[in-house]
Amino acid sequence: MHVLVLGGDGFCGWPTALYLSDRGNDVTIIDNLSRRAIDIELEVESLTPIRPLSERLRVWKETSGRQIEFINLDLATEYDRLVDVLTRLRPDAIVHFAEQRAAPYSMRTPRTKRYTIDNNARSTHNLLAAMVATGTDAALVHLGTMGVYGYGWSGSAPIPEGYLTVKVPTPDGDLEREILHPANPGSVYHLTKTIDQLMFAFYAANDQLRITDLHQGIVWGTQTPQTIRDERLVNRFDYDGDYGTVLNRFLMQAAIGHPLTVHGTGGQTRAFIHIRDTVRCVEIALLNPPAAGSKPMVFNQVTETYRVRDLAKLVSNLTGVPVANLPNPRREDEENDLVVRNDRFLALGLEPTTLSEGLLDECTHVAARYRDRVDLGKIVCRSVWRAGMATAEDLLTELPDESRPVAEPAAAN
Amino acid sequence: MHVLVLGGDGFCGWPTALYLSDRGNDVTIIDNLSRRAIDIELEVESLTPIRPLSERLRVWKETSGRQIEFINLDLATEYDRLVDVLTRLRPDAIVHFAEQRAAPYSMRTPRTKRYTIDNNARSTHNLLAAMVATGTDAALVHLGTMGVYGYGWSGSAPIPEGYLTVKVPTPDGDLEREILHPANPGSVYHLTKTIDQLMFAFYAANDQLRITDLHQGIVWGTQTPQTIRDERLVNRFDYDGDYGTVLNRFLMQAAIGHPLTVHGTGGQTRAFIHIRDTVRCVEIALLNPPAAGSKPMVFNQVTETYRVRDLAKLVSNLTGVPVANLPNPRREDEENDLVVRNDRFLALGLEPTTLSEGLLDECTHVAARYRDRVDLGKIVCRSVWRAGMATAEDLLTELPDESRPVAEPAAAN
């Protein structure tokens, strides 16, 4: 089928585009290269040396024999061009990754808060409006976030996949109602994904669009079977305080001997998924869209949950690098439990990549290999949730030499 | 106190600005005059001849001796100027009416859908971000809508004021949780108000902004004790298919002898409030803000509920004008019940203006007086919720003469 991958140059979008192409689909990437522009703004780079998109696509064609088209288009501001694209390409499916996706960046300044709302809300809504206007009957798969649910909200009940059955007291007794899980976003970024949900619900009901929302956990890992085929296809690896996700940050920190930066007590329990599983989940979702007229289908795109301090301990044990507890720049509970349902993807055949099998591999092959590219001034988180909150000083100002072994298996006992 | 009225040139904003000024507050209106621009776009005018804002303000000063400042500013696109205004004026309170407020307009075309989302989401978020950035500790009162709740969702339970207590099943038994009432918006316009709610919840929690959301019913009436003091202060009266609200449309239709346009069976039950009560409610809300750190306070700003066909019958009985059942351009239930809690405003002293006392007055003084200004081609609703839905032809092409009495009391038996 013909699939548009919106945001196909990003951390999840790029490996998804390659995977879907490799699986025999015709893939068109739509991206405005904003993620690369934000790298420039933050004066940081992916730990892995990513290539310009046109080079990536050329190498992919050489490697796989398959062509991926690229259209440089800003979803938030170029609605008319989007309409032209949908009219011309008549895609069978659309994967929508085209949003600003870092919570710390979304809280950094008034400008980045506003950019995150403006960009994400308008991109999603322009897409929905354009699909209706052009009669595009494509399955739409959107990357949401586990963060829409909040943490610790529902006691011992597992977080359901999108919808919660509640009892509403009425004069005639309790009424059972299935509701969209109440929104408890922890940042402006997460807020945008709760806004997306409302837009999806409306357009699914009013215009019978077929929409799937993937509430993804924290992605870790870098490479997929496709991105690993040539170094010029390598995926992004963000390690900085704004865009780096917690486990990848630990892996990079371990690789250079930087203390593992845990915010607060590290009692936050979070859900995780490997990038290899992300791309598989997207394909499963594309192949199993809801029926027209149904409410949006929601999958929880997670495979494991860990407490952040346990993750840090795991990496510390494997590598001998100590843990540093830093002030938490976020407003969140210090400790929470988390039980998440992910029955749907498992029922549809997902075989999860677990931390225990994938961790070391990732650590040695990626983080250690590119350790010299690290900017030590970008590791500590500096984006705070409210003005005046404390942040830490840089913990390292000079890259240690490579004499100390990294990811030494002996430490794993 | 010093109050900013955002959208202070509009149907609710203008009488609110005058009322608050009359009550001794220093009022500054912020408006981009977008409502007047949309009149030009739709080629329609307020039934009442509204004056340019600077003239309105000059007349208000002559009449009341009180000065209202005006700043022409687009909240959605002029963030930096908004920051300057907040920094300079340090308001004690902000009333936020500055949103596109017509459901039919919001469904009219892809452009108006996009404008409604872009304008409303960005205006609200820019305001919140600017308040945080400038440390503006003002009570914020926002005009929401009853439409966020949907109709008929909660069976025989009255619609609560914003928050619903539900039972969440868990392995350890039912957990009682107070949630924001699930969102069931019926148009892109209503969708924006559900988006606003999520933004308010986040900024109240993260930044301790003090926010009140007024879920208002359908406003009827035109004049307040302030707007009636001079004809040049007259409020808007929209009768067209996009911006006219149902009861005012019936009153205007009755005044010219046009059949009363009921959509579908008219079985829709809706909540109503007179514009005189709107302005009082806003003042009550301003004087009773939530504490910093509290979640947004929600009032249901309604005083009566009526089924649309019963309203039409009431007006028909009063005036002798027949009812016409037209195809419904909206996607909504044909029939619904509606019971709404409005305890908060009543407890705080609101004395509602009821239809039975205000109706005739409104009808004779406004609708009949300006009947010659009506454009008969603008009465039937043409904005449909989904492409291809049926609409009616114009029911009148020529204004009947004034020989037939309008709002004849004898017909009221």
Cα B411 → chain centroid: 30
Residue whose C-alpha is closest to residue A224's, from A212, A214, A215, A237: A237
Residue whose C-alpha is closest to residue A188's, from A87, A270, A105, A95: A105
Residue whose C-alpha is closest to residue B13's, from B214, B249, B292: B214
How far is B16 from B10, CA to CA, in rounded Å?
Answer: 9
pLDDT tens across the length of chain A (413 residues): 999 999 999 999 999 999 999 999 999 999 999 999 999 999 999 999 999 999 999 999 999 999 999 999 999 999 999 999 999 999 999 999 999 999 999 999 999 999 999 999 999 999 999 999 999 999 999 999 999 999 888 888 999 999 999 999 999 999 999 999 999 999 999 999 999 999 999 999 999 999 999 999 999 999 999 999 999 999 999 999 999 999 999 999 999 999 999 999 999 999 999 999 999 999 999 999 999 999 999 999 999 999 999 999 999 998 999 999 999 999 999 999 999 999 999 999 999 998 887 676 777 788 889 999 999 999 999 999 999 999 999 999 998 876 554 544 433 33
CB contact under 8 Å between B182 and A183, yes or no, is no
Which DSSP helix (H) or strand (E) runs through A347?
helix A343-347
B157 interfacial to chain A (CB closer than 8 Å): yes
Task: Identify the pLDDT of residue A361.
Answer: 74
Residue B172 CB burial class (10 angstroms; 0-12, 13-18, ≥19)? exposed
Length of chain B equals 413
Asked whether A151 and A334 are in contact (CB, 8 A), the reply is no
The number of C-alpha atoms within 13 Å of A220 and in the hemisphere containing its C-beta is 30
B194 interfacial to chain A (CB closer than 8 Å): yes
B220 phi-psi bin (left φ>0, alpha ψ -120 to 50, beta other): beta
Nearest CA in chain A to B186: A202
B285 interfacial to chain A (CB closer than 8 Å): no
Residue whose C-alpha is closest to residue B68's, from B133, B24, B120: B24
pLDDT bin (cut points 50, 70, 90) of residue B404 is low
Question: Strand, helix or coil at B256?
Answer: helix
What is the average pLDDT score of chain B? 94
Tokens of B267: 């079985």
Residue whose C-alpha is closest to residue B326's, from B302, B305, B308: B308
Instruction: Report the residue from B182, B207, B331 with minimal CB separation from A179.
Output: B182
**What would the pLDDT profile of B84-136 be if each residue is shown by its tens digit?**
999 999 999 999 999 999 999 999 999 999 999 999 999 999 999 999 999 99
Kindly report the pTM of this predicted structure. Answer: 0.96
Asked whether B260 and B323 are in contact (CB, 8 A), the reply is yes
B96 phi-psi bin (left φ>0, alpha ψ -120 to 50, beta other): beta
Output helix, strand, coil percentages for chain B, rounded to the nearest 5: 40, 20, 40
Tokens of A394: 């840089």
The ipTM of this complex is 0.96
Query: Which residues does chain A have within 8 Å of residue B82's beta carbon, measured at their own beta carbons?
Result: none
Residue whose C-alpha is closest to residue B302's, from B356, B358, B355, B341: B341
Residue whose C-alpha is closest to residue B129's, from A257, A412, A260, A111: A111
A153 interfacial to chain B (CB closer than 8 Å): yes
Which DSSP helix (H) or strand (E) runs through B126?
helix B110-134
How far apart are the CA of B321 and the nearest CA of chain A, in angstroms? 34
Task: Identify the pLDDT of residue B362.
Answer: 73
User: How does DSSP classify residue B121?
Assistant: H
Angstrom CA distances, A144 to A268, B177, B392, stand at 20, 24, 41
CB contact under 8 Å between B114 and A121, yes or no, is no
Residues 6+ apart with CB under 8 A from B84: none
CB contact under 8 Å between A385 and B206, yes or no, is yes
How far is A220 from A311, CA to CA, in rounded Å?
Answer: 12
**What would the pLDDT profile of B124-140 be if each residue is shown by its tens digit?**
999 999 999 999 999 99
Least reliable range by pLDDT among A90-94, B354-358, B374-378: B354-358
The number of C-alpha atoms within 13 Å of A85 and in the hemisphere containing its C-beta is 28
How far apart are the CA of B146 and the nearest CA of chain A, in angstroms? 16
Residues 6+ apart with CB under 8 A from A397: A376
Helices B13-22 and B53-64: angle between axes, nearest 10 degrees = 20
Asked whether A134 and A88 are in contact (CB, 8 A), the reply is no
CB contact under 8 Å between B156 and A164, yes or no, is no
Asked whether B287 and B278 are in contact (CB, 8 A), the reply is no
Residue whose C-alpha is closest to residue B28's, from B85, B99, B101, B76: B85
Instruction: Report the residue from B182, B194, B198 with minimal CB separation from A191.
Output: B198
The arithmetic mean of pLDDT across residues B214-231, rounded, is 96
Catalytic residues of B: 145, 189, 193
B206 interfacial to chain A (CB closer than 8 Å): yes
